[in-house]
Chains A and B, each alone.
Chain A
Amino acid sequence: MTLLAIEHVTMRFGGVTAVDNVSLEMAEGQLLGFIGPNGAGKTTLMRIITGVLRPQQGRVVFRGEDVTRWPIDRRIRAGMGLAQQIVRPLKSLNLTDNVALAVGSHRMASPLAALLHTGRSAERARARELLDLVGIGEAAQAMPGELPLGYLKRLEVARALALEPKLLLLDEPLAGLNQAEARAMADLIASLVGPEASGGRSVLLIEHNIREVARICPEIYVQDNGRRLLQGPTSQVMASPELRRAYLGGEAA
């Protein structure tokens, strides 16, 4: 079943067309790698999916509903989860509470419901589990300002997971991690859609670390200069001359 459909989306900033008539579909349970050279419009497309940006043309359909005009928070409540490329932790809360807020996001679906709910211990316990899962459990009590970027990248992922999204959008979750850490994080991402994972969750993974993307993603979508370049099974995409041209420029060797 189609979970997300991007239909002929175009986004211009002044004279620059960052995303040019792009269409993309994602099925339930799919792990799709999303690659492309710098300036390909990857983050812009991600922002269109989450609602940070509204495209001039085209529409975004999520779980059968046209969400093109929906604000971000409504899309999140409908089942999207986002780990941003540029980390944005809540600086006044420790890591546990940063994640616990996301765990309990259903409690804040309306202000009145939020007012009538007290008690955070269950959410905090779940938050610590998630911090353990992404490998930063030892920093559960630390404040974001005290931690290096690698921790905060993983905090973003833990927070997105805490929302229990149907569609997890990961914008360069491996950036800032060393090789072993990146491998562990990639394994974690793969396990989210594996057979043992709860059914129906899909992951869209934007990443520059092509080695890890190729290792864990069965299918890859490539964008270049704001346009769809190709999409297909990983082995085909990795072997294609268009991919090399996009990354190396000129004629493929």
Chain B
Amino acid sequence: MAYEIVLLTTMSIAILFALSLNVITGFCGQVSLGHAAFFGIGAYTAALLTKAGVPLALALLPAAAMAGAVGLLVGMASLRVRHDFLAITTMGVTFLFVGFVRKQDALGGEVGISGIPQAAFGRPGLLLLAIVCTVLFVLVALHIRRSWMGFAFDSIADDEDTARILGIDVKRFKLWAFVIGTAGAGVAGGLYAHHIRFIGPDSFGFVESVTVLAMVIIGGIGSIWGVALAAGLLSVMPLWFQFVDDYKLLLYGLLIFAAMRFAPDGIAGLARRIAARIALWRLPR
């Protein structure tokens, strides 16, 4: 039972983390290679607060706010850059975060923060909290999709210049995507810190940013269910299979490559095409 709880908690946190990036990259079309930094900001914020005696459920709110606030700043700084340039700019954010944390004694420096307290009701309590947060975020994402904000994001992801000609204030909508996405990552990070109960600057580096982007790409950029499925599977594979853990980077790299080459719209797109095929077979001839 304990092992299943660990597996499910890992999956839930990964799904929340990937869905938060999906708002920025999938919905709004802004590729970010620095998402792990916001995961880290949430983790550090929540860990410091719970160590000071704040209950985790409460500490997740400032974790979200802190990550979202930095997300707003990064978003404002990168409003003028597009596409590949944005990817490189956001990549810099990860390095800045790791570099900054390493030098801060208050944040544990190179050593990191250990002895992070357990969530209330132990591991089952943490799992429940993670599931609640993830479900809430799924509901938020589903609502965005249905709302006019989702419609505006569609147009920005498609063609920013045309979005402007429709009267859409592209900058402000992008900032909202950044804030919602990075705040979600902050919550995921806060949960992660209390799952592992030890964090260091290297838990939130470039590799983690690429890993979460891989989940979004493999799941199908923009698809809530596809990304959730990919994040769930990819996060527990290293726990299930030792060789996956050993060759994690190689495997993720190959999967991204395969997705880009054979199914650029990821699992979600693949599923749609297969469903369309089956529908064709079923047609009376």
Interface positions of A (Cβ within 8 A of B): 50, 71-74, 76-77, 82, 84, 88-93, 97, 101-102, 104-105, 107-111, 113-118, 120, 159, 163
State which of B149, B157, B164 has its C-beta within 8 Å of the C-beta of A114. B149
CB distance from B134 to the nearest CB of A (A): 20
Chain B residues near A73: list those with CB within 8 A.
Answer: 163-170
Q: How far, in angstroms, from A82 to B161 measured CA to CA in the complex?
A: 12
User: Which single residue of chain B is at the shortest CB-CB distance from A108?
Assistant: B152
12 examples of A-B residue contacts, CB within 8 angstroms: A73-B165, A76-B165, A90-B162, A91-B159, A101-B154, A101-B166, A111-B152, A111-B175, A115-B176, A118-B146, A159-B166, A163-B167
Interface centre among B148, B158, B168 (most CB of A within 10 A): B148
Report yes or no: A76 in contact with B166, Cβ–Cβ below 8 A: yes
Q: How many of B's residues come within 8 Å of A, CB to CB?
A: 27
Which residues 140-186 of B have a CB within 8 angstroms of A?
Answer: 143-144, 146-149, 151-152, 154-155, 157-159, 161-170, 172-173, 175-176
> Which residue of chain A has its CB nearest to the CB of B177?
A111
Q: Which residue of B lies closest to A52 (CB)?
A: B161
Residue from A50, A111, A113 having most chain B Cβ neighbours under 10 A:
A111
Residues from chain B with a CB closer than 8 A to the CB of A110 are 169, 172
- Given contacts A72-B165, A90-B159, A93-B158, whether A111 and B151 have CB atoms under 8 Å apart is no
* B188 → chain A closest CB, angstroms: 21
Q: Check if B164 sits within 8 Å of A72, measured CB to CB.
A: yes
Shortest C-beta distance, B170 to chain A (Å), equals 7
Q: Is the CB of A118 within 8 A of B166?
A: no
- Minimum CB–CB distance from B38 to chain A (whole Å) comes to 19
> What residues of A have a CB within 8 angstroms of the CB of B166 in the complex?
73, 76, 101-102, 105, 108, 159, 163
Note all chain A residues with C-beta closer than 8 A to B173.
Answer: 108, 111, 114
* Chain B interface (Cβ < 8 Å from any Cβ of A): 143-144, 146-149, 151-152, 154-155, 157-159, 161-170, 172-173, 175-176
- Top-3 shortest CB links A-B: A76-B167, A114-B148, A114-B149
Chain A residue nearest to B173 (CB atoms) is A111
Q: Which of A82, A105, A159 has the most CB of B within 10 A?
A: A105
Residues of B within 8 A of A82 (CB): 165
B19 vs chain A, min Cβ distance (A): 17
Q: A50-B165, A91-B158 are in contact. List 20 more A-B contacts (CB 8 A).
A: A73-B163, A76-B166, A88-B161, A88-B165, A90-B155, A90-B158, A90-B159, A90-B162, A92-B154, A92-B158, A101-B155, A104-B148, A104-B151, A105-B166, A108-B167, A110-B169, A110-B172, A111-B172, A114-B147, A115-B144
- CA of A145 to CA of B175, assembled, Å: 30
Across the interface, A108 reaches (CB within 8 A) one of B148, B159, B161, B175, namely: B148
State how many angstroms separate the Cβ of A95 from the closest Cβ of chain B: 14
Q: Are B151 and A108 in contact (CB under 8 A)?
A: yes
* Complex interface: chain B residues within 8 A of A120 (CB): 148, 151
Contacts of B162 in A (CB 8 A): 88-90
**Inter-chain contacts of A115 with B (CB < 8 A):** 143-144, 147-149, 176
Let me know if B147 and A116 touch, CB within 8 A.
yes
In the complex, the answer to whether B164 meets A111 with C-beta atoms within 8 Å is no
- List chain A residues, Cβ under 8 A from B149: 108, 111, 114-115
Q: Separation in Å of the A143 CB from the closest CB of chain B?
A: 12
Bound Cα distance from A101 to B182, whole angstroms: 27
Contacts of B165 in A (CB 8 A): 50, 72-73, 76, 82, 84, 88
Contact A117 B148 (CB under 8 A): yes
Contacts of A108 in B (CB 8 A): 148-149, 151-152, 166-169, 173
> Considering the chains assembled together, what is the distance between the CA atoms of A104 and B148 in angstroms?
8
> Could you say which of B148, B155, B158, B176 contacts A107, with CB atoms under 8 Å apart?
B148
Minimum CB–CB distance for A122 against chain B, Å: 12
B167 touches which one: A89, A90, A105 (CB < 8 A)? A105
